[in-house]
Amino acid sequence: MNSYRIEHDSMGEVRVPNDKLWGAQTERSRQNFPIGVGIEIMPQEIIHALALIKKACALANRELVPEKMTEEKCAAICTAAEEIMDGTLAAHFPLVVFQTGSGTQTNMNVNEVIANRGNQLAGRTLLHPNDDVNMSQSSNDTFPSAMRIAAVIALEDRLLPAVDRMILALKTLEAENEDVIKSGRTHLQDAVPIRFSQEISGWREGLERDEEMLRALMGSLGELALGGTAVGTGLNAPKGFDTSAAREVSGLTGKAFIPATNKFHALTSLDELTAVHGVVKALACDGMKMANDIRLLASGPRCGFSEISIPALEPGSSIMPGKVNPTQCEQLSMVAVQVMGNDAAVSLAASQGHLELNVYLPVCIYNFLQSVRLLSESLDSFRERCICGLKADRTRMKEYLDRSLMLVTALNPVIGYEKAASVAELAYREGLDLRTACLRLGYLGEQELDARLNAEKMV
């Protein structure tokens, strides 16, 4: 049977499970928002970022207001915050995403856990969650700052490395297939020849452009709202707190963060997060394009294109023996769909800034971080289990190339479009190759035909 202790806040007393470090405000939120409990909980990336902020702010307050933030208090806050960041206290953050739109309860959850853990370490009541742990802060500036910190860490440490690994794998695949010429396809119809390496390069270039755009926009996420407190005026924060806190965050993360130039904007606008997620969506779109191309090229094995083979990972049917499906293409496509849906949620959340505060913050960052996490893992899985085992069927590609009617395009400069079309139509109608059809119509001699209908010269 659970035992309880009595905690209190400005509204009165609350019973809290005795084995938990949270306090009254966390417990009120836990009771008031039974929505997605245990599933749609606040991302651990946000808890980590808030704990990092609490440590940074304690160090800034120690520097600026040492009479209030004593050495003992600062040390206790830092130690408890570090335990949160290393995951030791993960069980003490139960709150769901769908709470107050400012993230206030989660900010207080972190404040209460740090205060109670700090008091445990001190062996006495040393820290107050509001007066000490939340000193010089408001949920209104800490939560938006945590969102940006979590976003930058997720992008720099997870997504961009996954993209780089995929680009490298595609470059390797390009090099392996430099000498392979195949039929191109537009509108899912035969088109002029292309090197398989050139087709692969289209996938690679898309990812490289996405990475360039991500890096170009990510700098805007480095501006923190810390120091703005409740509405952007900085009430109750000492002079220079924003600069000091941002400097401490930079030191703790090893990443570049600076004070927001306009705190009123930083508290109410999510435009930078929306823009960056737009590029994450673009990356998902390019991932889906690549996955769809690959599953078309691998379709078969006897009744499809069958131009490439991809690793067979598991049985594909519960009823059809021997069937193998392009499951890695399917998982990447589904992740892309999720990211596109998340982009709609992020965009709608960003549009709902009312007056001095946006109150859709938790749902915005929940979707943003989910997109980054899923896409990072999806790209790595797709690379490892599909791209690295992808092989061209050179025989099948050569067979399709030799049968392609669109090689006739190379005759346009010599005999003109209409005569070239008549060659293709005759060849298709009577099942001839292009060379035979053109000779029958008398448009060109054998020697010039052989020179013109050379796929090597068309790519």
d(CA 387, CA 338): 22
Percentage helix, strand, coil for the chain under 3-state DSSP, each rounded to 5:
65, 10, 30
The set of residues, in sequence order, having a beta carbon less than 8 Å from that of 334 and lying 6+ positions away, is: none
Q: Quote the CA–CA distance of 428 and 439 in Å, as a whole number.
A: 15
Q: Which two tokens stand for residue 394?
A: 């050179």
- 48 has catalytic annotation: no
Whether 40 contacts 97, CB under 8 Å: yes
Q: What is the CA radius of gyration of the chain?
A: 30
Q: Are 138 and 104 within 8 A, CB to CB?
A: no
Token pair for residue 189? Answer: 């119809």
What are the Cα distances from residue 120, in Å, to 177, 193, 271? 63, 72, 41
* CB burial of residue 125 (10 Å; 0-12, 13-18, 19+): exposed
β-strand pairing of 189-195 with 223-224: unpaired
Q: What are the distances in angstroms from CA 172 to CA 169, 175, 392, 447? A: 5, 5, 13, 38
Among 8, 317, 351, 354, the active-site one is: 317
Tell me the torsion sign for CA atoms 170, 173, 175, 181: negative
Cis peptide bond prior to 301, omega within 30° of 0: yes
Q: Is 187 annotated as catalytic?
A: yes
- The region, left, alpha or beta by phi > 0 then psi within -120 to 50, assigned to residue 280 is alpha
Place of tokens 């599933």: 39
Which of 3, 10, 187, 318 is labelled catalytic? 187
Which residues are catalytic, by number? 187, 317
